[in-house]
Amino acid sequence: MRNLFLLFILVILCSCSLQKSNQQVLLKEDFSNLDTNKIWLLKSHTFTNNLAVFNPDNIQNKNLLALKLNQTDSSKTSSKSFEGAEIRTRRKYKYGNFKVLLKAPKGSGIVSGFFLYFPHSSKFKEIDFEFLGKDTCKVYLNHWTNKQDNGKAVDIPFAFQNEFHEYHLEWRKKSIVWYMDGKELYRTQNFIPKRSMHLVFNIWISKHESWVGNLDESALPAFFQIKQVEISK
């Protein structure tokens, strides 16, 4: 009986090892060098609900990707009073595991995002991890289909601004699962996006104070830090 039990355990371990080895790694990034020609695209735009404009100069890379949010320098001619940052992959991905080691900042009014995004407005798709600086012991999990919000707020057992943690999106044909440090936070089988999407990171200020809180300008400059990215299928 004992031998049968040991054989069962061995089969399970071998199965898990084989499954892991069969995963195809599509991108593994430690930001020792930021390749903006083939892998990453730095964005310079804004949108209606954003009180900041994205500035490529606010993206810093020294073995760590840091997206900066600050007040716009008074010497600049700008349409907005604040500057944030956004970076996305040049390539689009369809299904897979998206694991990121990151640390988001504290500060009311500040939004930091790690998400998958299909950019065409008429067929808008998105799968999100969002970090609101007003409440650093909570993460917002969301997926959008045809501009329909399917969001959920989840409490976490730490303040996300203090340490790096792994956040993981598992996007399959019939499900989406959100993980943190290997622990499942939430899953859904409804309204699953079917189109290939970019991986995006950004930091900005929302004009919707009922959602993000009143802006605490004393928290600026704020930095959204990403240490590692792995995409596999």
3-state SS record for 172-215 = CCCCEEEEECCEEEEEECCCCCCCCEEEEEEEEEECCHHHHCCC
- Give the residue, 125 or 20, on which the prediction is more confident: 125
Instruction: Provide the residue range defining the domain that includes 151.
Output: 26-232
Residues 126/142, Cβ–Cβ less than 8 Å: yes
Whether the per-residue pLDDT at 10 is higher than 70: the answer is no
- Helix residue ranges per DSSP H, 116-163: none
CATH code of 98's domain: 2.60.120.200
- Which residues are identified as catalytic? 126, 130
| 163 CB-near residues (< 8 Å, 6+ apart) | 103
Mean pLDDT taken over the chain: 90
Structure tokens that stand for 109 in this block: 């009014």
Q: Is residue 14 part of a domain?
A: no
pTM: 0.88
Q: Is residue 213 part of a domain?
A: yes
Q: Is residue 184 part of a domain?
A: yes
Give the containing element (helix H, strand E) for 8: helix 2-21
pLDDT value at residue 18: 44
User: How many other C-beta atoms lie within 10 A of the C-beta of residue 96?
Assistant: 19
Q: Is residue 186 part of a domain?
A: yes
Q: Is residue 169 part of a domain?
A: yes
What total of structural domains would you count in the chain? 1
pLDDT digits (tens, 9 = 90+) for 156-181: 999 999 999 999 999 999 999 999 99
Q: For the chain, give the number of residues.
A: 233
Q: Is residue 21 part of a domain?
A: no
End-to-end CA distance of the chain: 38
Q: Is residue 2 part of a domain?
A: no
Distance CA 54, CA 195 (A): 25
Q: Is residue 17 part of a domain?
A: no
User: Residue 232, CB half-sphere, CA atoms under 13 Å: how many?
Assistant: 12
| 81 CB-near residues (< 8 Å, 6+ apart) | 51, 71, 72
